[in-house]
Chain A
Amino acid sequence: MITIQKYVRAQSLEEAWQLNQSKRNRIVGGMLWLRLGRGGVGTAIDLCDLGLNTIEETEDTFSIGAMATLRQLEQHEGLNAYCGGAVRNAVQDIVGVQFRNMATIGGSLWGRFGFSDVLTVFLAMDCQVELYKGGIVSLEDFADMKKDNDILVRLIVKKTPGKMVYTAMRNQRTDFPVITCALSNIGGEYRAVIGARPAKAMVIRDEKHLLPGDAKAFAAYAAENAPVDSNIRGSAAYRTHLIRVLVERAAKELGGM
Chain B
Amino acid sequence: MDIKLKLNGKAISAQCDADTILLDFLRERGCYSVKRGCDTSNCGLCTVLMDGKPILSCSMLAARADGHSIQTLEGLQEEAADFVGFIADQGADQCGFCNPGFVMNTIALLRENPDPTDDEIRAYLAGNLCRCSGYDGQLRGIRSYLNSRKG
Which residues of B are interface residues toward A (Cβ below 8 A)?
1, 17-19, 21, 40-42, 44, 47, 50, 53-56, 59-61, 63-64, 105, 108-109, 123-128
Contacts and interface: CB of A to CB of B under 8 A. Distances in A.
Describe B's contact surface by its main secondary structure.
mixed
B28 to A, nearest CB: 17
Given A28-B64, A31-B61, A35-B21, 14 more contacts: A3-B19, A7-B18, A32-B56, A36-B40, A44-B18, A44-B19, A96-B125, A97-B105, A97-B124, A98-B56, A98-B105, A99-B56, A101-B50, A102-B55
Interface string A93-108: 1011111011000000
A44 B61 contact: yes
A92 B123 contact: yes
Interface of A: 2-7, 28, 30-32, 35-36, 41, 44, 46, 48, 71, 92-93, 95-99, 101-102, 173-174
Contact of A31 (B17, B59, B126): B59
A98 B44 contact: yes
Contacts of B123: 92
A30 B64 CA distance: 10
Contact of B63 (A7, A97, A101): A7
Nearest to B1: A7
B134 to A, nearest CB: 13
